[in-house]
DNA sequence: CCAGAATGATACAGACCTGTCTCTTCATTG
DNA sequence: CAATGAAGAGACAGGTCTGTATCATTCTGG
């Protein structure tokens, strides 16, 4: 609230709070949340420590802001991919996993930020962990809606299988080198989708 | 070396070093490696700090010992499962994923210790990270051998797909609740295996 | 030009963490 | 019994991390 107001009053000068969030997001994603300290963030973003604590109540709060922004970005990515196959949920699902396969091969790829956050922050009361789990539930809902729309025989099973595959792609792309992982991801998704929706249609 | 000797000379009294490793393994697995400090380990295991540092050169060394022991346990689990289907690599693969599905539903399940370690320790020079990645490569080799023995049309692709699924099961079982996840894991594996090995045989 | 808000720079407190050192206790062995 | 060596207990040093407080600077609006 107040942050947004203050940013508005200053106008279109320079993003004060933005620099912090950009730097924090980059560092958190690349090196991990616990591994990156406040001092590193302020040094890298060229900001005073008090500027950080005026914009974010605590490091936890900054982590939450990072995850919330990542959720928006991921949702936008999802929308972009499915928009390429309007009215064809089956093709949309396949396209999501094809795009995922490309993404995990990208040199900047470092796993799923939400899965990593949940792995680092095990305390169930941690708000960032809560955010990460909420995001996974949201992904599950969207997958389920696609499975239903595609006419899967057992939508719950298909979306569980696909989310397994998605999580596996995130984990594997970071740690393992599965060769051209994109092929394995896309082909596995296609096999599961076609198996569940009936080979015949489309 | 020397640790084993000393443990041998004392005889069958009480495992001194064992208590440390048991406690550390439990805490590292449940709460994460970075989240558990030396002080917590010695307090929980009822051991003096110097006893820990006499048996392990550093915390990193203790983490490596934890991962090495986990590798042995996981290899034993693998051997037990495949031994139930001698001479039938296809059934062996399916049995592995059925057992994995049961494991991720277990209340003590907290993800794959190696994946979690790799997620927490991002420094490529960290010996524990090296161990974790080596373990993943070993799993991949064993999966590949099974895929070849089962007569998969493209063994590399099948084993990549199955390892994706395996990593996904580890990640999903911890963070998400995929309902009766075991069914999704086993069914997805069966679909991929049957698809790659030909529906006809077995 | 001036008032006021936002920001930079820096020091500091308190907590935690790793690893070392010392001293004591206890058990085994000769 | 005496000697030896492992193990418990706890203090301590050095470092890092989060979060706060203080002071100087810059930029904006009137």
> CA of A47, closest CA in chain B: separation in Å?
26
Among A105, A106, A84, smallest CA distance to A95 is for: A84
Quote the CA–CA distance of B93 and B143 in Å, as a whole number.
8
Helix or strand run (H / E) with residue A53: helix A49-55
Residue B15 lies in a domain: yes
Residue A163 is classified by DSSP as: H
Q: What is the pLDDT of residue B39?
A: 96
Q: How many CB atoms lie within 10 A of CB B146?
A: 21
Q: In chain A, which residues have pLDDT < 50?
A: 1-13, 201-202
Closest nt to B36 (CA→C1')?
Answer: C17
Q: How many CB atoms lie within 10 A of CB B68?
A: 14
Quote the CA–CA distance of A191 and A172 in Å, as a whole number.
19
The range of the structural domain enclosing residue B43 comes to: 3-197
Task: State how many domains chain A has.
Answer: 1
- Interface probe for A, chosen from B32, B119, B133 (most Cβ of A below 10 Å), is B119
Q: Is residue B59's pLDDT more than 50?
A: yes
Helix %, strand %, coil % of chain B (to 5) = 75, 0, 25
Cα pseudo-dihedral B13, B16, B17, B18, rounded to 10: 60
Q: Token pair of A24, please?
A: 């924090």
Contact list in B for residue A140 (CB cut-off 8 A) is 176
Closest nt to B48 (CA→C1')?
Answer: D8
A194 → chain B, closest CA residue: B191
Higher pLDDT, residue B165 or A10: B165
Residues 6+ apart with CB under 8 A from A181: A101, A104, A105, A169, A172, A173, B160, B164
Quote the CA–CA distance of B68 and A75 in Å, as a whole number.
39
Strand ranges, E, within chain A:
none
Q: What is the pLDDT of residue B165?
A: 95
Residue A120 lies in a domain: yes
The residue with tokens 């089962």 is: B150
Sign of the CA dihedral A144, A147, A151, A154? negative
Q: What is the pLDDT of residue B197?
A: 87
pLDDT digits (tens, 9 = 90+) for B170-200: 988 766 666 666 789 999 999 999 999 876 5
Quote the CA–CA distance of A47 and A17 in Å, as a whole number.
9
pLDDT digits (tens, 9 = 90+) for B81-125: 999 999 999 999 999 999 999 999 899 999 999 999 999 999 999
Residue A86 in contact with partner chain B when CB distance is under 8 A: no
Q: What is the DSSP string of B70-120?
A: HHHHHHHHHHHHHTTSTT-HHHHHHHHHHHHHHHHHSTT--S-HHHHHHHH
Q: How many CB atoms lie within 10 A of CB A187?
A: 21
Residues 6+ apart with CB under 8 A from A172: A104, A178, A181, B163, B164, B167
Residue B125 is classified by DSSP as: T
Among A100, A102, A120, smallest CA distance to A166 is for: A100
Residue A122 in contact with partner chain B when CB distance is under 8 A: yes
Q: What is the pLDDT of residue A183?
A: 87
Quote the CA–CA distance of A142 and A107 in Å, as a whole number.
27
Residue B172 lies in a domain: yes
Quote the CA–CA distance of A37 and A28 in Å, as a whole number.
9
Sign of the CA dihedral A37, B43, A128, A8? negative
Q: Is B48 exposed, middle or buried (0-12, 13-18, 19+ CB in 10 A)?
A: exposed
Is B171 within 8 Å of A169 when comparing Cβ atoms?
no
Residue A202 lies in a domain: no
Residue A177 lies in a domain: yes
Residue B202 lies in a domain: no
Strand C lies under 7 A from the Cβ of residue B24: no
Helix or strand run (H / E) with residue A159: helix A155-175
Residue B24 is classified by DSSP as: H
Q: Are the C-beta atoms of A191 and B189 separated by less than 8 Å?
A: no
Residue A129 lies in a domain: yes
Assign residue B43 the CATH number of its domain.
1.10.357.10
Q: Is residue B58's pLDDT more than 60?
A: yes
Residues 6+ apart with CB under 8 A from B80: none
Q: Token pair of A166, please?
A: 């998605």
Q: How many CB atoms lie within 10 A of CB A130?
A: 15
Q: What angle (nearest 5°) sits at the alpha carbon of residue B110, between those of residues B106 and B114?
A: 125
pLDDT digits (tens, 9 = 90+) for B13-40: 467 799 999 999 999 999 999 999 999 9
Residue A191 in contact with partner chain B when CB distance is under 8 A: yes
Report residue B68's pLDDT band, with 50, 70 and 90 as the boundaries.
very high
Q: Are the C-beta atoms of B27 and B44 separated by less than 8 Å?
A: yes
Residue B115 in contact with partner chain A when CB distance is under 8 A: yes
């Amino acid at each position: 609230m107040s942050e947004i107001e203050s940013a508005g009053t200053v106008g279109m000068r320079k993003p004060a709070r933005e620099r912090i969030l950009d730097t924090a997001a980059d560092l958190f994603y690349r090196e991990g949340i616990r591994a990156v300290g406040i001092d590193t963030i302020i040094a890298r973003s060229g900001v005073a420590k008090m500027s950080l604590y005026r914009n974010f109540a605590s490091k936890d709060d900054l982590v939450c802001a990072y995850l919330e922004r990542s959720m928006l970005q991921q949702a936008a990515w999802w929308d972009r991919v499915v928009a390429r196959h309007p009215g064809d949920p089956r093709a949309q699902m396949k396209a999501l996993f094809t795009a995922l396969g490309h993404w995990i091969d990208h040199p900047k790829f470092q796993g799923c930020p939400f899965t990593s956050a949940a792995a680092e922050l095990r305390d169930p009361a941690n708000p960032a962990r809560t955010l990460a789990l909420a995001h996974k539930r949201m992904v599950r809902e969207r997958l389920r809606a696609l499975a239903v729309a595609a006419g899967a025989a057992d939508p719950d099973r298909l979306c569980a299988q696909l989310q397994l595959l998605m999580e596996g792609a995130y984990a594997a792309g970071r740690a393992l080198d599965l060769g051209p992982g994109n092929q394995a991801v896309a082909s596995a998704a296609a096999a599961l989708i076609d198996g569940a929706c009936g080979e015949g249609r489309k």
